[in-house]
Amino acid sequence: MLLAGCNSDDISLANNAKANQPVPARLIAEMTAKDMDLQSPILVRLFKQEAELEVWKQDRSGRFALLKTYPICRWSGDLGPKVREGDRQAPEGFYSITPAQMNPQSLYYLSFNTGYPNAYDKAMGHTGSQLMVHGDCSSRGCYAMTDEQIAEIYSLGRESFFGGQKSFQLKAYPFKMTPLNMARHRNNPNMPFWKMIKEGYDHFEVTRQEPKVDFCEKKYVFDAEKAPDAKRDPVFDASAKCPAYVIPQEVADAVREKQQQDHAETAKLISRGAPVARANPGIDGGMNKVFAAKLPDGSTGLSEGGEGQGLSLAAFTRAPGTIPATVNPPRGPVTSPQEPLVASMAPAQAPATRVASAAPQSEGFFSSLARRVGLGGSADTTASAQPIPAKPKVIEAKRNEPPRSEAPAPKAAAAPKAADTKQATAQPPLKPAVSDSQAAAAFAAPAKDGVVAGAAPIVPPNSFESRFSAFK
């Protein structure tokens, strides 16, 4: 079944001019510098919140090292796993990419199928099909990378197959599984699922090896081996009871130690007042800021960067791919599903308000004289009690990290009522990004120079819809 935004072309590693483009010389130079072979195995990691795709390649020591990070041009849906066909969710979890899933005839230049649904997804009753990583910058459940970037990623996967790799692993996460991010999203209903896939994230972090993935009892199992007294390898079934298995002791110890440190750091951040990630209703997916900065009224959506934050600097950075004229930035409500997405953030608290003082102001000599002789205005000097939005509680973060995919057009913002203190904005507010290195300082002291209280909203005269009306 065709999922809008992706494609259902026949998939094969065929002899195609696009699919056989050589690996760029600069990438080969980077591999040589990192002691990597052109045809050595690869694996791929995706992060929605950071809007990044990482390609890792095995070096001559047998460990995986980061080769290159690619900014994602567009992804759709919300943070959280895909649950059903048509929910616009880009998948999360561990998937295996074989040569048969490589698609040189893609409607979006080049692509490869993520392999969703895997055995876990099927055991959970999740549905969906044709979820791709492809070119262009349009997404309804896929990860769009631009044509130039997918050409590089595709060529790296192709060369690994030519080198003998039977499949490479694709690991899709909502965000980098750091203590800070786990603290920020602690109230998200998807947290049990995220903790489960974090187990595989931790296995890779401590070993730098591709974790072996199995499924049983409707859960993920990583790096399982047969028990010492077992006569045969364990047989796993995603819907059945787990067989007897063991995890190599050195791996289990290293993972346990890392998880204990992460739990302690997460608890510390929460105790210091780490804010819960705010809800962003009406925003569909995200876009790396290096692309958002190139678009009129561009927004990073659910990806880090925030509304206008860091986009002015990113505007001077050359985009690593062509953005087609038909792209829609992550704005507007999710209209495809008939039910709200499971992965909704914790509701944001209503901002506090403050009212101007209504006490009469003291008169000077000249103002009093002017009033008595009839030259002044009304004798009523009571101040207008118009509510003023309070300064939002936000954590300020410097935008010094490296640069980081289509939604319906937004509805016109309604003018605020006198008693309503919410500002009318062209786009829903976005959560700020906070780097791990700045977390302790950010939580220890309140932010300075935050958003100006009472700032009047500005609605752009030229909306994005008027310029890019085409919709894929």
Supply the residues annotated as catalytic.
Answer: 134, 142
Q: Which long-range contacts (CB under 8 A, 24 or more apart) does 243-251 make?
A: 243/216, 245/221, 247/222, 247/223, 248/223, 251/203, 251/206, 251/207, 251/223
Angstrom distance (rounded) from CA 264 to CA 258? 10
| Closest of 31, 43, 36, 39 to residue 210, by C-alpha | 43
Q: Which residue has the tokens 């603290």?
A: 183
Distances (CA, A) of 95 to 115, 118, 212, 388: 6, 7, 11, 50
Residues sharing a CB contact under 8 Å with residue 457, sequence separation 6 or more, in sequence order: 413, 423, 424, 425, 426
- b vs e for 180-201, b when ≥16 Cβ sit within 10 Å of the residue's Cβ? bbbbbbeebebeebbebbbbbb
The rounded distance, in Å, linking the Cα atoms of 322 and 27 is: 19
* Strand, coil or helix: 394: coil
Could you tell me which of 103, 146, 447 has the C-alpha nearest to residue 324? Answer: 146
The structure tokens listed for 160 are 């690994």
Q: Using an 8 Å Cβ cutoff, are 92 and 170 in contact?
A: no
CA distances from 69 to 107, 292, 412 (A): 24, 17, 37
DSSP 90-106: PP-EEEEE-GGGEETT-
Token pair for 364: 């000077």
Q: Which amino acid is at 151?
A: A
CA-closest candidate to residue 98, choices 110, 115, 111, 120: 115
Burial of 107 (0-12, 13-18, 19+ CB in 10 A): middle
- In the structure, how many helices (H) and strands (E) does the chain have? 11, 14
